[in-house]
Amino acid sequence: MQFKQFDPATFLRDYWQKRPLLIRNPWRQWSNPLEPDDLAGLALEDGVESRLVVHCAAGLSLEHGPFGEDRFERLGETPWTLLVQAVDQHDPDVAALIEPFRFIPSWRIDDVMVSYASDGGGVGPHFDQYDVFLVQGAGRRLWQVGGLCDANTPLLPHADLRLLAQFEPSEEWILEPGDILYLPPGLAHNGVAIGDGCMTYSVGFRAPARSELIAQWCDHVLATAADDIHYRDPDLALQANPGEITPAAIAELQRLTLERLLEPASFARWFGQYNTTPKYPDIDWSLPQPLTLDEVTAMAAAGVPVCRNPASRFAFTAKDKGDVLLFVDGQCFDCADAAAEFARALCAQDNPPVPAAMSRPGAGAELLLALCNQGSIAFDDED
């Protein structure tokens, strides 16, 4: 899918993480990429994260999937909403929705959540800590937005949902199929389906919390740090008071503590692996029958193109002399020469060309073999 009219530079300058924007059907040709029955089918499967929000006398209730085949038949006329996470990992047409938004760095993109709501259905007034593009797929939905919220914003007492205790909309729009509403982080909002058959595609973005980064990075450092580095003070001098922890000792202890934490190259390697780790690591995409190096080099030599697994995550960081660190599904690969060229292309497009040099045994061919066998890419051989 492609936009026919949309200026990413203007959007980033004037709206990104600043204010909401309603974009009336900017697509060259919009068609709803997923049928409601297919979404409901996903919600029946183990390993697919799904939720059902139902209006009841006490307010809103939340149920977690997988659901039984008769659950939706028993909902009756009560307003309800089905939400299924990471549908882009299961349907290539939904995955294609991400491509027009790749003017945002890929490492920031999370997934596409799809919701289906009956008339009056919604999840209640709330706010998120991440940016989101809300694409109206089918039907109509009323969106209301309010003010900015934070950790001190009062919430309703609810065991499962973070609903705002007070919500005063300042703007509202009715979205038709193909329309898009961008919402920056922290903005109060509420969506209500107008009529049955309301489908919304939420293209969400990753926004790691500082506490999360500190905790995960420190855990990694502790797991990989050498255990034989201890405090030393070979220049120790007599102190007037032996009970004092001197400024020099404090400085050395702090240096010893922070030295490993502040290594930029180590942090970059860790973050690339951490950020590309699959959202659902229990799903195994590796090939049941691994390819051999001869098979990989033969297909590369024949010019067979490769395609990316929509469920895989790809990113890279640049090194000296054009080399890169390629991160794919939590794995890190040091790439140089043709492999570096391929790594950059792989992070930028779904069907990157394979350089001819990678058809010969060497680091490039080994990279192809590893990525194929872990299920991150595949040779698109129609035969």
- Residue 367 confidence (pLDDT) above 80: yes
What percent of the chain has a predicted confidence (pLDDT) above 90?
82
**Domain with 20 in it:** 8-205
Handedness of CA 40, 41, 44, 50 (dihedral sign): negative
- Residue 46 confidence (pLDDT) above 60: yes
Q: How many C-beta atoms lie closer than 10 Å to residue 53's C-beta? A: 21
Residue 123 lies in a domain: yes
Binning pLDDT at 50, 70 and 90, where does residue 383 land? very low
259 burial (CB, 10 Å; 0-12 / 13-18 / 19+) is exposed
Q: What pairs with residue 201 in β-bridges?
A: 114, 135
Question: Does pTM surpass 0.85?
Answer: yes
Binning pLDDT at 50, 70 and 90, where does residue 320 land? confident
The amino acid that residue 356 corresponds to is A
- Residue 328 confidence (pLDDT) above 80: yes
User: In Å, how far are 8, 85, 141, 165, 269 from 178, measured between CA atoms?
Assistant: 18, 20, 12, 31, 39
* Average pLDDT score over residue span 355-380: 91
Domain count, the chain: 2
Instruction: Return the C-alpha torsion angle 366, 368, 372, 375, nearest 10.
Output: 100
Question: What are 280-298's pLDDT values in tens digits?
Answer: 877 888 888 999 999 999 9
Q: Are 266 and 258 in contact (CB under 8 A)?
A: no
What CA–CA distance (Å, rounded) separates 21 from 139?
A: 20
What CA–CA distance (Å, rounded) separates 383 from 54?
A: 48
- Residue 77 confidence (pLDDT) above 90: no
Question: What are 213-255's pLDDT values in tens digits?
Answer: 999 999 999 998 877 789 999 999 999 999 999 999 999 999 9
Least confident of 179-188, 244-253, 361-370: 361-370
What CA–CA distance (Å, rounded) separates 136 from 159?
A: 29
Q: Before 66, cis peptide (omega within 30)?
A: yes
* Average pLDDT score over residue span 198-221: 96
Same domain as 151, residue 42: yes
* Average pLDDT score over residue span 28-57: 95
Length of the chain: 383
- Residue 316 confidence (pLDDT) above 70: yes
What percent of the chain has a predicted confidence (pLDDT) above 70?
99
Residue 124 lies in a domain: yes
Residue 177 lies in a domain: yes
Closest CA to 49 of 11, 88, 103: 88
- Residue 3 confidence (pLDDT) above 70: yes
Same domain as 28, residue 138: yes
pLDDT of residue 382: 55
Same domain as 301, residue 199: no
Residue 252 lies in a domain: no
- What's the whole-number average pLDDT of the chain? 93
Residue 270: which H helix or E strand, with range? helix 264-276
Q: What is the DSSP letter of 96?
A: G
Backbone angles phi, psi at 204, to 5 degrees: -100, 160
Backbone angles phi, psi at 74, to 5 degrees: -90, 5
Q: Are 4 and 99 in contact (CB under 8 A)?
A: no
Q: What is the CATH number for 359?
A: 3.40.366.30
pLDDT of residue 232: 93
Same domain as 305, residue 176: no
What CA–CA distance (Å, rounded) separates 3 from 235?
A: 67
What CA–CA distance (Å, rounded) separates 313 from 374?
A: 12
Which of 189, 205, 221 lies at the terminal end of a domain, its last residue?
A: 205
Which of 159, 188, 205 lies at the terminal end of a domain, its last residue?
A: 205
CA atoms within 13 A on the CB side of 317: 15
Q: Are 311 and 320 in contact (CB under 8 A)?
A: no
Question: What are 86-135's pLDDT values in tens digits?
Answer: 999 999 999 999 999 999 999 999 999 999 999 999 999 999 999 999 99
